[in-house]
Structure 1
Amino acid sequence: MDVQPYQTPPRWWSPLLNPRWFWFWRWVRRRIRIKHHHLENIEIQGLENLQKCLDEKQGILITPNHSSHADPTVLYWVADQLKTPFYFMAAWQIFQKANWFRLLILRHHGCFSVDRDGTDIRALRQSVDILRNKPHPLVIFPEGEIYHLNKRITPFHDGPSAIALSAAKNAERPISCIPCGIRYQYISNPIEELLELMDRLEEQLLWRPKRNLILRKRIYQFAEAILGLKETEYLGHSQTGSLPERIKALTEFILQGLEDKYGIGNRDSSLPERIKACRRVAIQLKENSELSEQEHEDAQIDLDDLFIVTQLFSYPGTYASAKPTVEDMAEMLDKFEEDVLRTPTASIRGARRAVISFGKPIKVEPAKGDNNQTHALTEKLEQEVQTLLDNVQLE
């Protein structure tokens, strides 16, 4: 997981979507899709669900899972087939890190920034305006983060549902949410490159590469070692029990400590929402000019701890199954490459294909000021996207 700067955004980046520029940059999209993400084939399922809403000139919110850095590229491919561009809501850190050329391309592709840790009124207004008035769909990834989980989703944030419900209020056209699932599969065998990466990871722990073991066991032993180091750092000792139990226990130890420190009592919320609530307070403390240098340093330490919690959350602890697929092992090694070797974006090893599936549209009724309505729509989208992932038939 790429380390992001957590602070108040320096500015807001608006979209500069123009269909002519979108078509002009098609060669860039093709290069990124093939050269960078190694996607040689993309299969689209359920496209008629999206096409129907476009034909009816509805306001459309597409809500995909977010397991890979390649997800926007797959959606751009769909946009090319439909001959209509999409708007994208994206974390402001992406814009801040981009050089002027990449920034121009992002904005020409309808991307606009959002502060995921605060109440971003400009991003909210932009999203509502797109759904009410613009001819092109809006894409928001409800998971927020990229967790490298190809088969299952993590809890959706309520933000996209709240935006759709807000847009539906007093809208002059129907507003629909379209669930979307994206799965990836290797079409060339990446095992040799995965083994080479496993060697480097073990050497990072000052181990001799354990080439006498099968890759699944090497991944499991490496995960145990990394988790044991973190347990010793925070607890003073390693724990016993299964990996999922140990991950959950360490996560709760760190997060509950911060919630107690900040006086936050939202433990019935999803773990990503709990992290977000703590992060919001830590950012405010870090940027409070009236506090001492030591207090600013303490706030930064808390932000670092929250990043550890986010990393732990991305590890399901179930990758030691008896028959993991190549994709299962590759995604775990992708996590290790980013978290242990500090690679900003995990490398793609071997040619891949993607399957993107669109579910039936969910018509959005105007918001009635009831939070249960927002939660209900979020849960519906979450269930539908997981069902799409479960039903994808890979070759």
Structure 2
Amino acid sequence: MSVVFQRPYQFVPPDRNPLWPWLIQRLRIVDRYLKRKDGVVGYECRNLDRVRQSAQRGDGILWAPNHCRYADPLVLGWPSRELGIHVHAMASWHLFNEGAFDRFAIRKMGGFSIHREGTDRQALESAIDILVDTKRPLVLFPEGTTSRTNDLIIPLLDGVSFIARTAARRRAKSGSGDVMIFPVGIKYLCIDKIDDWAKDQLSRLERSFGWKHPPENSIPKRTIRLSETILALHEIRCFGESSSGDTSQRRAVLIQHLLSHCESVLQIQPSDRDVASGDLHTWQRSVLDRVRQIRSAVASKYFAEHYPSPPCSKLVACVDDADLAQEQLSTPDDYLGKDVVTDTRIVESIQLMQESLFGKSDASLPLKAVVEFGEPIPVPSERAPRGEEDPLMGQLRERLTNLVGKLSHEARKWSD
């Protein structure tokens, strides 16, 4: 559940005491946690000299990584260790509500909260201040949410530009120096061959649908078949029957139905954008904007009604449907195509289905994280132009896309 119903939002500020992150790194707590919870057992950091040189110049440093797994923030603890520095990172408010330990650990590692369902001036000011005083790099995930697709980038949030440009303006005014954005590519690679793991996990998923005898198909075909089965089940719930034809079109229709229904329940002005046509990037951006608007409306209505307990079932259903729409957006139909399928894409697809059906994925397959820093982007102090794409975000998107695309070729190509 992405919207927090336990209590209204309260900003969690960054803890600037260096003792806790030093101790956590010293005891290798991050390493043990990543191995146990996410199966990430090794790492490789590349181009750290670029960050060192920028830090030596006294730049305000912003790391802008892709965000494909929940493990990403902790994985960035490894380049921090190699560089001998600590970082601050903006984290969604709901992560601070997963439990007392998570709340404590995220804050002590340098995390601070952002209210995704509303305007959070305290979070923005904290992020700007971190870039201005340059004591630690700031980590912002420009995609704003976990994409679950390691080889693709979803539309970026303009808030990254606002934070970076405002900090650059303040630094220029005081003569303090520059602000630099570092595109950071994170790629997870399978250490061992995945055949046995994939067959076992696929068999478990198939049995959950009552399929006693697994089909005699290749691993990619079994994975695609299960994904299409889950899509059909969602269609039956929403429309009373499953559809046929192009799965991309079917997902688009399902997403439109889910979002339109939520907008109707919440009395949000319906979007006039047709999700089944037009530019892919524009459509993805539209879907993500509508998901955020639904979550914001749910949070506003819930806390305006004096915290009913349990929360209204209609509000919970709207959050679930918005989350499902975003999940469907993270399921590209050509991801397992014959000419592009890799072992890591199969693993991602299986784990996404497990998260969707069971709430968590199997993390027994050992992974290695590659963290590569791209060429830094100088941040201009001028405000972004109105009525057109911010050239800073266009440059960041291009470099991050190229970096992730390059890393994608390091995965093993699948061959039956």
Q: Structure 2-normalised TM-score? A: 0.86
**Identity rate, percent:** 26
Q: For residue 209 of structure 1, report the CA deviation from its aligned partner.
A: 4.1
| Bigger mean CA offset, 86-95 vs 171-180 | 171-180
The 5 Å alignment of 1:268-283 reads 269-283=285-299
What is the match of residue 353 of structure 2? 336
Kept in 2, the 8 Å contact 1:282–1:302? The answer is yes
Q: For residue 247 of structure 1, report the CA deviation from its aligned partner.
A: 0.9
The 5 Å alignment of 1:102-181 reads 102-171=102-171, 172-181=176-185
What is the match of residue 243 of structure 1? 247
Q: Give 3-state SS (helix, strand or coil) of 1:234's partner.
A: helix
Q: Distance in 1 between matches of 2:104 and 2:311?
A: 38
Kept in 1, the 8 Å contact 2:58–2:134? The answer is no
Q: Where does structure 1 lack aligned partners over 5 or more consecutive residues? A: none
Q: Does 1:254 align with 2:258?
A: yes
Q: Give 3-state SS (helix, strand or coil) of 2:358's partner.
A: coil
1:284 to 276, 300, 307: 300
Q: For residue 265 of structure 1, report the CA deviation from its aligned partner.
A: 3.8
Taking structure 1 as reference, are residues 373 and 9 closer, same or farther at Cα in structure 2, changes over 3 Å only? Answer: farther
1:341-367 CA deviation, whole Å, 9 max, x = no partner? Answer: 222xx2323222222111111111124
| Bigger mean CA offset, 363-372 vs 182-191 | 363-372
Taking structure 1 as reference, are residues 89 and 195 closer, same or farther at Cα in structure 2, changes over 3 Å only? Answer: same
Q: For residue 149 of structure 1, report the CA deviation from its aligned partner.
A: 0.6
Q: For residue 294 of structure 1, report the CA deviation from its aligned partner.
A: 12
Aligned amino acid, residue 82 of structure 1? L
Q: Does 1:232 align with 2:236?
A: yes
1:251-302 CA deviation, whole Å, 9 max, x = no partner? Answer: 1222234446411447465321221122212322233328999994333322
Kept in 2, the 8 Å contact 1:181–1:358? The answer is yes
Q: Where does structure 2 lack aligned partners over 5 or more consecutive residues? A: 274-281, 412-416
Q: Does 1:80 align with 2:85?
A: no
| Count of matched residue pairs | 390
What is the match of residue 51 of structure 2? 50
Q: Distance in 2 between matches of 1:144 and 1:174?
A: 24
What is the match of residue 359 of structure 1? 374
Q: For residue 169 of structure 1, report the CA deviation from its aligned partner.
A: 2.0
Kept in 1, the 8 Å contact 2:263–2:270? The answer is yes
Q: Give 3-state SS (helix, strand or coil) of 1:25's partner.
A: helix
What is the match of residue 15 of structure 1? 14
1:24-75 CA deviation, whole Å, 9 max, x = no partner? Answer: 1122123224444433432222222222211111111111001112212321
What is the match of residue 350 of structure 1? 365
Q: Distance in 1 between matches of 2:272 and 2:76?
A: 35
Q: Give 3-state SS (helix, strand or coil) of 2:227's partner.
A: helix
Kept in 2, the 8 Å contact 1:255–1:306? The answer is yes
Q: Distance in 1 between matches of 2:252 and 2:126?
A: 37
What is the match of residue 182 of structure 1? 186
RMSD: 2.5
Structure 1 moving runs of 4+ over 3 Å: 5-10, 33-41, 256-261, 264-270, 290-297, 369-375
| Bigger mean CA offset, 228-237 vs 149-158 | 228-237
Aligned amino acid, residue 342 of structure 1? G
Q: Distance in 2 between matches of 1:385 and 1:201?
A: 34
Q: Distance in 2 between matches of 1:350 and 1:312?
A: 24
